[in-house]
Every structure is written in C-alpha cells, then in structure tokens.
C-alpha cells in the first residue's frame, strides 16, 4: 500500500468512526424518546416512526462523503434511495395504522440490512473492523422479517422497534471502536 493509499485509508477510517459514533448517539436518543414518550403520545410515536428511516438516509449521505472519491458508492446511493422511499411509505402507511407501517419498516430493515452486510464485507479488507457491521446487517435482515411477521400482533407498536435501534447503536459503537484500532495501528507518516 502506498503512502497516499494509507493516508486515504486512515482518513476514511476516521470519518467512518465519527459517523458510527454519531449514528449510535442518534439511535440511543431515539430509543430513550421511544421508551419515555411514544407509548402515551401518538403524535410523538408517529414522528419517531418517520424520523428513523429519514435519519438513515441522511446518515448514508454522510457515509458517501466519508469514502474516497475512487470508491464505488452505488450501495450507499441505493440505501439512501430506499431510506427516502421508506420514509414516504411509512408516512403513507401510518395513515392506515401500525400494521402497514411495520410491513414497510420490515421491508426496509431487510433491504438496508443486506446493503450493510455487503458494505461490511467490502470494507473489511481495506479498513478491518467491519465484523460488527456484517453481523448488524445480518441481524437487520432477520429483524425485518420479524417486523413483517408481527404486523398483526395486538401489542405491536413503535416500542417494539426500540430493541432493533438499541442493537444498531451497539454495533455502531463496536465498529467505531474497532476502527479506532485500525487508526492507531497505521504507520506514522512524516
């Protein structure tokens, strides 16, 4: 690896580490808000249901910026598009009730989980430390299927999604910490 490639790798690792900490922070705050406010306030629950995929779209654009120009960003653009469509679909589905929103959210979790899995596998050779993202992507696929399966559960509500977001935060923290090791292990360039 040339000095320029090493420098780009470190810069990408730092950018992704910062983004992963930001994503974890958002998810933790979201889980807290859902736990404290959503069950008793349908307006807040609706807002939180909508903001989660919208945030994913915004965070995906930050992910695109974190990568070197020469890196293919097709999976991220697909992910951002899916998250934008999901945000709109959740808004529409919520007008007919929670079951439809769960189907939309579940399909979104499956699709974006697959993309996260693919990106984690692609990035592990260059950056290392992607196993939390790979596991998280696989878990997202399984969670999405579970959300779709729960559409007719009598107690299914936005609080059901809090565990999903909490695990996402956990995996983002693990990936950020692992990228810190990649950054520290990089040779010092004078």
- The string of DSSP letters for the chain reads --HHHHHHHHHHHHHHHHHHHHHHHHHHHHHHHIIIIITT-HHHHHHHHHHHHHHHHHHHHHHHHHS-TTS--HHHHHHHHHHHHHHHHHHHHHTT-HHHHHHHHHHHHHHHHHHHHHHHHHHHHHH---HHHHHHHHHHHHHHHHHHHGGG-TT-SGGGGHHHHHHHHHHHHHHHHHHHHHHHHSPPP-
pLDDT at residue 32 is higher than 70: yes
145 vs 175: CA distance, rounded Å: 24
Reading the block at residue 77, the tokens are 């653009």
Q: Sorting pLDDT into bands at 50, 70 and 90, what band is 2?
A: low
Q: With beta carbons less than 8 A apart as the criterion, state whether 102 and 150 touch.
A: yes
Higher pLDDT, 181 or 58: 58
What integer pLDDT is reported at residue 190 of this predicted model?
Answer: 44
Q: Is the pLDDT of residue 150 over 50?
A: yes
Question: Which comes out higher in pLDDT, residue 107 or 157?
Answer: 107
Segment 107-130 shows an average pLDDT of 86
pLDDT at residue 47, as a whole number:
95
Average pLDDT along the chain: 88
Judge whether 110 lies within some domain.
yes
The total number of structural domains that make up the chain: 1
Q: Please tell me the pTM assigned to this model.
A: 0.86
Angle separating helix axes 162-185 and 98-127, nearest 10 degrees:
10
> Which tokens in the block code for residue 64?
């695109």
Using CA atoms, how far apart are residues 103 and 145, in angstroms rounded to an integer? 9
Is residue 187 very low, low, confident or very high in pLDDT (cuts 50, 70, 90)? low
Q: What average pLDDT does the segment 100-110 reach?
A: 93
- Report yes or no on 38 lying in a domain: yes
Position 190 in a domain: no
Give 159-182 pLDDT, tens digit per residue. 888 999 999 999 999 989 988 887
Q: Is residue 152 part of a domain?
A: yes
Provide the residue range defining the domain that includes 43.
3-185
Which of 133, 134, 140 shows the shortest CA–CA distance to 108?
140
pLDDT at 4: 65
């Amino acid at each position: 690896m040339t000095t320029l490639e090493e420098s780009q790798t470190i810069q990408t690792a730092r950018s992704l580490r910062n983004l992963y900490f930001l994503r974890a922070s958002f998810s933790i705050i979201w889980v807290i808000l859902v736990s404290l406010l959503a069950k008793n306030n349908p307006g807040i629950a609706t807002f939180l249901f909508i903001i989660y995929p919208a945030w994913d779209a915004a965070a995906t654009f930050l992910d695109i910026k974190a990568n070197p120009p020469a890196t293919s960003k097709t999976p991220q653009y697909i992910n951002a598009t899916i998250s934008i469509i999901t945000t709109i679909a959740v808004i529409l589905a919520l007008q007919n009730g929670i079951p439809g929103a769960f189907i939309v959210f579940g399909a979104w979790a499956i699709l974006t989980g697959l993309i996260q899995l693919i990106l984690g596998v692609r990035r592990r050779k260059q950056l290392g430390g992607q196993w939390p993202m790979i596991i998280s992507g696989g878990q997202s696929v399984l969670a999405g299927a579970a959300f779709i399966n729960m559409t007719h559960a009598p107690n299914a509500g936005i609080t059901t999604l809090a565990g999903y977001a909490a695990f996402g935060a956990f995996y983002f923290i693990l990936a950020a910490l692992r990228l810190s090791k990649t950054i520290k292990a990089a040779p010092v360039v004078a």
